[in-house]
A = this chain, B = another copy of it.
């Protein structure tokens, strides 16, 4: 892989993620590839931990995704195993057997049912995960000393150029609960190596249904609102685990005291993690926020925003620091959503460049040029039709993306 240098959009440091009572991470070398780094992450979770998750909508998911989908309804988790270097996707019965073997091994270590072990894998596709390496790696991890979240975040990486974590706290019934998360991903996907996997750990006491409801809501405004190349992994997985160790009165409904604080903190962690994935987008040199307002509905706004964010022509224009609002018009037009050319308004940064169906005559190009030279780009589109709004995040499309994805052999 060519992605050896850290993304220019990376934050300066990994944030200080505190321990989460009841969740203990360990890492080991399973050597899924010929590399000398840890590539297996094993997180043990205290008895009573509840789990929620959102999984790829791909019609061709990995066996790990199928395993998690089947286990999630039980709502209980005792362990998470993450393999980096081999996605185990599209490997038929041998892939399924590998997931079952991993779950059984972890369950044996912990004395828990196998369906309380959650498994995620990322890396090359089409090669069954070697069971012997996975089992040896698990045994080694089980015997290892606990590590911090930064080590775990580094161990789940594949083509990522930096480790990604986020944290927030919330006051729930007089107790401070902590929400810590790690994520990996650098294309929205590449079945090769760049699947998005996100794991969130909290000591809050919650019911599984409440956690699922909160995660789904947070996901809809974070992980579901980012795109690097519009491609969708066979393995994308976000799981949230709540150990209950904070000692708060368990949250069970959105109306419970503290539920709003919990939702806000969880949403912030998800948004931070999602934006970090965009900041590590393959070849990215600009972080782009696309804010659509005035659509008929929020859903319509989101589809228009994603049409803009996924347009190769918009993304290459931003790479070229070109205020090419014509390409934004094109993307709005192709989204298939209600739009009226003669009500459309477009801004780059704070400068309105088009309005009422035509260019703003004589708009000041200097602030637009200055904005586009920066690393954080805002594209604003107002449709002038209703109250629907959505914001999504993406990155530009550069020679780096081509180099990573074309000049590479699977």
Which residue numbers of A lie inside 8 Å of B, CB to CB? 56-61, 89-92, 94-95, 124-127, 187, 189-192, 229-234, 310-313, 316-317, 319-320, 322-327, 329-342, 344, 354, 356-359, 396-399, 401-403, 405-410
Contacts and interface: CB of A to CB of B under 8 A. Distances in A.
Most chain B CB atoms below 10 A, which of A95, A317, A330, A401: A330
B58 A334 contact: yes
A147 B57 CA distance: 55
Contacts of A94: 358
Given A229-B312, A358-B126, A336 B397 contact: no
Q: Main SS of the interface on chain A? A: loop
Contact of A313 (B231, B342, B359): B231
Nearest to A355: B92
A61 B357 CA distance: 11
Nearest to A334: B232
Given A358-B91, A359-B90, A322 B60 contact: no
Contacts of A340: 59
B398 A402 contact: yes
Nearest to A124: B326
A28 B331 CA distance: 33
Contacts of A61: 333, 341
B190 A60 contact: no
Nearest to A396: B406
A406 B90 contact: no
Contacts of A405: 312-313, 316-317, 320
A113 to B, nearest CB: 26
Given A92-B357, A312-B229, A406-B317, A59 B339 contact: yes
Given A60-B341, A357-B90, A313 B229 contact: yes
Contacts of A408: 320, 322
Contacts of A337: 59
Contacts of A342: 92
A373 to B, nearest CB: 13
B125 A329 contact: yes
A11 to B, nearest CB: 25
27 contacts: A59-B332, A60-B333, A90-B341, A92-B356, A94-B358, A124-B326, A125-B326, A127-B359, A191-B327, A191-B330, A192-B324, A231-B313, A231-B330, A232-B333, A233-B330, A312-B401, A313-B405, A316-B402, A317-B410, A319-B402, A319-B406, A320-B407, A320-B408, A322-B409, A396-B406, A397-B406, A399-B399
A337 B59 CA distance: 8
A323 B233 CA distance: 18
Nearest to A342: B92
Given A317-B410, A330-B189, A359 B126 contact: yes
Contacts of A317: 405-406, 410
Contact of A401 (B310, B316, B336): B316
A338 B45 CA distance: 37
B333 A126 contact: no
B407 A402 contact: no
A192 B57 CA distance: 35
Contacts of A396: 406
